[in-house]
């Protein structure tokens, strides 16, 4: 039988029926607690037996009153950040979508914490960090709005994790005011002609790669992991199954939506060489390893500058793909699928301003609709442009059942 006492809580083993309200079948531990009014916090300690927990609690209550026992100040932000990073690397700490963090993501978080956050805030106790303190910290940051956002993102992740595990009572990063990003992302490719020019003047060895970046919109890691077996020339699709991290090697796509099929347009088919072995990388180094992103980008940048063309990045090619797909008439849902976005809200947030149906096109479509409706109304004034609905004489519901019984 589990013993109970005020201020003492049994801690049942994993799998014990007591977690579901049934009879205990384990040998539980016991967590005792006392309240420290001075620090406005509970002091807790766990013991293997009920008697040990009760004895400690009786002694602790007197020690708190005499000022001899104080609450543990808790972990520092640096300690909490180290724990979060270790969990992110191991895959036990996941993002809001329940997916493991990509290595490039937690490496970026680690860099932001190490260079910008922890030197100033690392020694602070996690429970003592306030929203006002973080707002002052944000106000003192230097750099672009995106740099400041990237600095705050790992802080949010660390405090969100701490809140979920009861280490803090509130998340002080909620409600922070961050500088607004001005303007739209620069795409660098304004038309299909720009895309064709970039491909034409890319180094010969990399032309198919840049064509795939522009005409399929894959992420850099997805391009590095692409194999010939992923291209279905008969169906006209490219299947994205994996990504490739520079340090970790082959990894899962960014999210569940990252596994997808992307249309293979004729303009891209023309740029692809003869297929190789099914498990061979489409874009490989001479030693059959995936291409190196920085090396390819530097090589292309030199070629484009020599031709008087402003260089673009692989990521800008992805945005250019989205812009061209929208101009070609792709709807938001289809584009969200092709881009591998976790939800359509991401697509609308980034590219909604480019979607078909902007002010001019919406006005033109509405004018055509109004004009057609007016013509219909003039041809049949009595109908006001609408067909009169005729009563449906066919039985439905219970009447239909009775009618069927009568006929039988």
Clarify whether residues 240 and 313 are in a common domain. Answer: yes
- State the burial class of residue 273 (Cβ atoms within 10 Å of its Cβ: 0-12, 13-18, 19+): exposed
Q: How far is residue 383's CA from residue 234's CA, in Å, rounded to a whole number?
A: 51
- What pLDDT was estimated at residue 149? 92
pLDDT digits (tens, 9 = 90+) for 276-313: 899 999 999 877 889 999 999 999 999 999 999 999 99
- What pLDDT was estimated at residue 181? 64
- Look at residues 354, 372, 401 and tell me which one is the last residue of a structural domain: 354
Number of domains in the chain: 3
| 3-state SS assignment for residue 170 | coil
Clarify whether residues 220 and 314 are in a common domain. Answer: yes
- What pLDDT was estimated at residue 407? 41
Examine the pLDDT at 341 and tell me if it is beyond 70: yes
- List the CATH number of the domain containing 292: 1.10.443.10
Q: How far is residue 230's CA from residue 33's CA, in Å, rounded to a whole number?
A: 59
Q: How far is residue 73's CA from residue 368's CA, in Å, rounded to a whole number?
A: 69
Q: Is residue 126 within 8 Å of 74, Cβ to Cβ?
A: yes
Clarify whether residues 232 and 284 are in a common domain. Answer: yes
Clarify whether residues 125 and 199 are in a common domain. Answer: no
- What pLDDT was estimated at residue 59? 93
pLDDT digits (tens, 9 = 90+) for 65-83: 888 887 766 789 999 999 9
- Look at residues 309, 330, 354 and tell me which one is the last residue of a structural domain: 354
Clarify whether residues 109 and 220 are in a common domain. Answer: no
Q: 239 or 189: which carries more pLDDT confidence?
A: 239
Instruction: Grade residue 396 by pLDDT with cuts at 50, 70 and 90.
Output: very low
Tell me which residue range forms the domain holding 24: 8-66
Clarify whether residues 136 and 258 are in a common domain. Answer: no
Percentage with pLDDT > 70 across the chain: 83
Examine the pLDDT at 360 and tell me if it is beyond 80: no
Clarify whether residues 339 and 207 are in a common domain. Answer: yes
The residue assigned the tokens 């109004």 is 370
Examine the pLDDT at 327 and tell me if it is beyond 90: no
Residue 170 within a domain:
no
Q: 363 or 124: which carries more pLDDT confidence?
A: 124
Residue 293 within a domain:
yes
- What pLDDT was estimated at residue 180? 80
Residue range 388-397: average pLDDT?
43
Give the dihedral sign, CA 88/93/94/95: negative
Residue 361 within a domain:
no
| 3-state SS assignment for residue 315 | helix
Using CA atoms, how far residue 351 sits from 34, 234, 263, 358, in Å, is 55, 31, 19, 12
Clarify whether residues 114 and 227 are in a common domain. Answer: no
Q: 347 or 366: which carries more pLDDT confidence?
A: 347
Q: How far is residue 279's CA from residue 287's CA, in Å, rounded to a whole number?
A: 14
- What pLDDT was estimated at residue 398? 41
Residue 374 within a domain:
no
- The backbone torsions φ and ψ at residue 249, rounded to the nearest 5 degrees and listed phi first, read 80, -150
Residue 260 within a domain:
yes
Residue 348 within a domain:
yes
Q: Are strands 29-36 and 237-240 parallel, antiparallel or unpaired?
A: unpaired
- What pLDDT was estimated at residue 383? 44
- What pLDDT was estimated at residue 381? 47
Clarify whether residues 344 and 207 are in a common domain. Answer: yes
Residue range 196-200: average pLDDT?
94
Residue 187 within a domain:
no
User: What DSSP letter does each residue of 125-136 carry, written as one string?
Assistant: BGGG--HHHHHH
CB atoms near residue 7 (< 10 Å): 17
Q: For the chain, report the end-to-end CA distance as a whole number of angstroms.
A: 69
Instruction: Please state, rounded to an integer, the average pLDDT across all residues of the chain.
Output: 84
Residue 88 within a domain:
yes
Clarify whether residues 346 and 198 are in a common domain. Answer: yes
Q: Is residue 95 within 8 Å of 101, Cβ to Cβ?
A: yes
| Tokens encoding 214 | 């522009």
Considering only CA atoms, which of 268, 271, 270 is closest in space to residue 205?
A: 271
Clarify whether residues 345 and 204 are in a common domain. Answer: yes
- List the CATH number of the domain containing 109: 1.10.150
Q: Are strands 29-36 and 41-47 parallel, antiparallel or unpaired?
A: antiparallel
Q: 397 or 72: which carries more pLDDT confidence?
A: 72
- Look at residues 66, 88, 112 and tell me which one is the last residue of a structural domain: 66
Residues paired with residue 239 on neighbouring β-strands, in sequence order: 261
Largest CA distance in the chain: 96
pLDDT digits (tens, 9 = 90+) for 81-121: 999 999 998 888 988 778 888 888 899 999 999 999 999 99
Clarify whether residues 91 and 59 are in a common domain. Answer: no
Strands (E), 221-280: 231-232, 237-240, 243-245, 249-251, 260-263
- Element housing 199 (H / E): helix 192-200
């Amino acid at each position: 039988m589990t013993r109970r006492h005020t201020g003492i809580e049994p801690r049942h083993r994993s799998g014990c029926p007591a977690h579901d309200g049934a009879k205990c079948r384990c040998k539980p531990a016991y967590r005792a607690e006392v309240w420290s009014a001075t620090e406005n916090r509970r002091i807790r300690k766990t013991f293997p037996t009920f008697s040990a927990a009760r004895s400690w609690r009786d002694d602790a209550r007197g020690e708190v009153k005499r000022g001899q026992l104080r609450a543990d100040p808790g972990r520092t932000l640096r300690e909490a950040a180290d724990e979060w990073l270790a969990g992110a690397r191991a895959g036990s700490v996941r993002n809001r979508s329940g997916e493991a963090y990509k290595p490039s993501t937690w490496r970026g978080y680690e860099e932001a914490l190490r260079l910008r956050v922890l030197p100033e805030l690392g020694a602070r106790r996690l429970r003592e960090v306030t929203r006002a303190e973080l707002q002052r910290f944000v106000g003192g940051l230097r750099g672009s709005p995106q740099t400041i956002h990237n600095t705050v993102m790992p802080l949010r992740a660390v405090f969100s994790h701490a809140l979920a595990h009861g280490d803090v009572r509130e998340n002080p990063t909620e409600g922070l005011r961050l500088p607004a990003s001005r303007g739209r992302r620069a795409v660098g490719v304004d038309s299909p002609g720009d895309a064709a020019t970039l491909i034409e003047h890319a180094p010969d060895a990399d032309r198919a790669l840049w064509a795939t970046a522009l005409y399929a919109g894959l992420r850099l890691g997805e391009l590095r992991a692409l194999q010939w077996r992923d291209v279905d020339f008969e169906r006209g699709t490219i299947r994205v199954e994996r990504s490739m991290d520079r340090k970790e090697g082959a990894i899962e796509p960014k999210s569940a939506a990252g596994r997808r099929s992307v249309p293979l347009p004729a303009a891209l088919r023309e740029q692809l060489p003869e297929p190789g072995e099914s498990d061979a990388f489409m874009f490989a180094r001479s030693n059959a390893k995936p291409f190196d992103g920085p090396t390819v980008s530097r090589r292309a940048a030199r070629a484009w500058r020599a031709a008087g063309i402003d260089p673009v990045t692989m990521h800008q090619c992805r945005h250019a793909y989205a812009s061209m797909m929208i101009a070609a008439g792709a709807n938001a849902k289809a584009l969200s699928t092709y881009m591998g976005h976790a939800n359509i809200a991401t697509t609308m947030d980034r590219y909604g301003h480019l979607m078909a149906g902007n002010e001019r096109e919406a006005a033109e479509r509405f004018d055509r609709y109004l004009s057609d409706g007016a013509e219909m109304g003039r041809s049949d004034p009595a109908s006001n442009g609408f067909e009169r609905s005729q009563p449906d004489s066919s039985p439905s519901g219970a009447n239909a059942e009775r009618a069927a019984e009568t006929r039988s």
